[in-house]
Chain A
Amino acid sequence: MRIVETTAKTADFAEWEQRATRWRKVLGKLKENKGAVFGLIMVLFVVASGIFAPLLAPHDPIYQDVEKRLHPPIGQTGADPRHILGTDHLGRDIVSRLIYGARISLVVSISAVAFSAVLGTIIGLLSGFYGGKVDSIFMRLADVQLAFPFILLAIAIIAVLGSNLQNIIIVLAITGWVIYARVVRAEVLSLKEKEYITAVRALGGSNGRIIFKHLFPNVIPPCIVIVTLEMARMIIMEAALSFLGLGIQPPTPTWGGMLADGRVYLVTSWWLATFPGLVIMLVVLGINLLGNWLRDILDPRLTQL
């Protein structure tokens, strides 16, 4: 009895060790890629800003102080050392608004990506596995959607439905499913001809079992790559909507909204528009670098994304 237990434990331990080695290998590879390390740091930094915003922000992001309006960032004449990146047209601290702005960006992009990934993966699995009518309906739907200038579609829908957090997430999620569906479908089409699927079928495995136990795990790696790259796109899209005044409404700080405000004061106060855009660019760059790296190690065939 004891021997059996020990063996089981050893087996457990062996597996655990194996897994740990695999992770160590991945991390080792990560160290080799400076871009990916930068990307990871950037992403962790933004996530931390979003989560710990109240602790990190030096000021209240929506507190207005008319006497302090349009203070330039430090290093410029007339700067206030308490506001490192200056203040906006309502005297609000830019750094604090940038830190809080991460929240909307993250909530919207993570939710939109999660919804579109689930939706697209299910459609891709069904389309690829069943083929026929199901497949042609979904794929034609994808063609129709790809033909739209996405931003126009999003603006139109949000203008009609009203811009709140929920609608923005729904619209972005709807516009994101196509890429998952196409990649997953292509993957399933080649997988379902494989011998092990025939074997499962011969053993009496149901369609549901084949799809979820045998096909689904194999489409996860490409999906992880797409999820990463889509995160970057969604962050830009959310900012674009806010920039056009269709995002989360003020006074909630959003990066796109800050940019739109800054555009008005561009001639006199360059810092208003410069910093939020710089933050978006760095975050998106970080995610892209991380995504490229993930693609290289998980699924090098996806180079066209």
Chain B
Amino acid sequence: MKSYILKRLFHSIFVLVGISLVVFIILHLTGDPAALLMPMDATPEQVAQFRKEMGFTDPIIVQYWRFFKGTLMGDFGQSFRHSQPALDLVMERMPATIQLTAAAMFIALLVAIPVGIISAIRRNSILDHIGMTGALLGQSTPVFWLGIMLILIFSVNLQWFPSSGRGGIQNLVLPAITLGMFTMARTARMMRSSMLEVLGQEYMKTAKAKGLTPRAVILKHALKNASIPVVTIVGMELGTLLGGAVITETIFAWPGVGRLAVQAIYNRDYPVVQAAVFILAAIFVLVNLIVDILYTYLDPRVKLK
């Protein structure tokens, strides 16, 4: 067990180093970052001076090592636009993104798990058809369009919820539904197929033969086993949610890391872009590490390789 956790930890660190490398490369894709970072009207002398100051004249390995050391210390440099360290800017926005992502995950699971279970128990019934058609539609709806349509219906026409900004729970409803829809749809389908698989197992017959009520069979025996694969989904879907948050935050003017990153990209504020991308990716890696470790507790059959 310990060696498994150590191995997973080592693996996660490796992935984080890889991420820092990719984040570093993005800035160097065009060849000369100085040209990107300096204002358009800078003189060649200014550009040369800047290049020297920033260390862009050093060999690329030296530059990466410097960037990597900075990353370890949480130092991504100063934002060009706001005179603040890039990491501080990202961290300021982090609570908003975590709130939105958590709310989206909550709504998704709240709907998806019952829908999946009912669809599986009442297989091929009207309820199953409605549930799975809904899930299919949910998986096919682009996040950005769903957000706009929700604003059109619930903010513009019905005026039930505000269309932008962060504040009370009212502000959270539309963005959370928008962001959670895809995960909701996928989890519902996953829950259904996982449940169907469990229902077909021999031990379900045993449970029934013991004379348990159908309710006890479902709740005590089926549900527990069927939820194991769904736990991994929570980890996997986090990537979808963090990615989706970029678009959702832009649509609803939600002051989170995703919106900050998009704005920073448009403003060519690269230290902020690097910090945001790195932190979001790091969160994903950490959560998956935790999920993997939890998983081994939930399902002793998982081989600890």
Contact = CB atoms under 8 A, between A and B. Distances in A.
A274 interface: yes
B30 A160 contact: yes
Nearest to A286: B140
Contacts of A143: 11, 15, 18
A148 B277 contact: yes
Contacts of B151: 266
B19 to A, nearest CB: 6
A259 B148 contact: yes
B132 to A, nearest CB: 10
Interface string B125-136: 000000000001
Contact of B239 (A149, A240, A256): A149
Nearest to A305: B186
Interface string B152-181: 100010000000000000000000000000
B38 interface: no
B265 A141 contact: no
Given A152-B277, A303-B193, A232 B246 contact: no
A267 to B, nearest CB: 5
B246 A151 contact: yes
Interface stretch (A8-16, A17-25, A186-194, A276-284): A276-284
Counting contact residues on chain A (CB < 8 A from B), the size range is 35 or more
B149 A274 contact: yes
Counting contact residues on chain B (CB < 8 A from A), the size range is 35 or more
A280 B145 contact: yes
Contacts of A274: 149, 152
Contacts of B26: 153, 156-157, 160
A206 B11 CA distance: 34
Contact of B22 (A148, A232, A270, A284): A148
A152 B145 contact: no
Contacts of B36: 160
A152 B276 contact: yes
A220 B117 CA distance: 34
Contact of B27 (A144, A160, A277): A160
A143 B268 CA distance: 27
A304 B190 contact: yes
A156 B277 contact: yes
With a 10 A CB-CB cut-off, give which of A148, A149, A159 has the most chain B CB atoms: A149
B142 A144 contact: no
B281 interface: yes
Interface string A258-279: 0100110011001001101110
Given A153-B277, A266-B152, A244 B136 contact: no
Contact of A149 (B193, B246, B250, B273): B246
A161 B30 contact: yes
Contact of A147 (B137, B146, B281): B281
Contacts of B22: 144-145, 148, 153
B18 A141 contact: yes
A277 B148 contact: yes
A148 B19 contact: yes
A150 interface: yes
Contacts of A62: none
Given A156-B26, A266-B151, A273-B152, A140 B246 contact: no
Contacts of B244: 151
27 contacts: A146-B239, A147-B285, A147-B288, A148-B277, A148-B281, A148-B284, A149-B277, A150-B239, A150-B243, A151-B244, A151-B246, A152-B243, A152-B261, A156-B265, A160-B27, A160-B29, A239-B144, A240-B144, A263-B148, A263-B251, A266-B148, A274-B149, A280-B142, A281-B137, A281-B145, A284-B142, A285-B136
Please name the 3 residue pairs, one residue from A and one from B, whose CB atoms are nearest each other, closest first: A277-B145, A144-B18, A149-B243
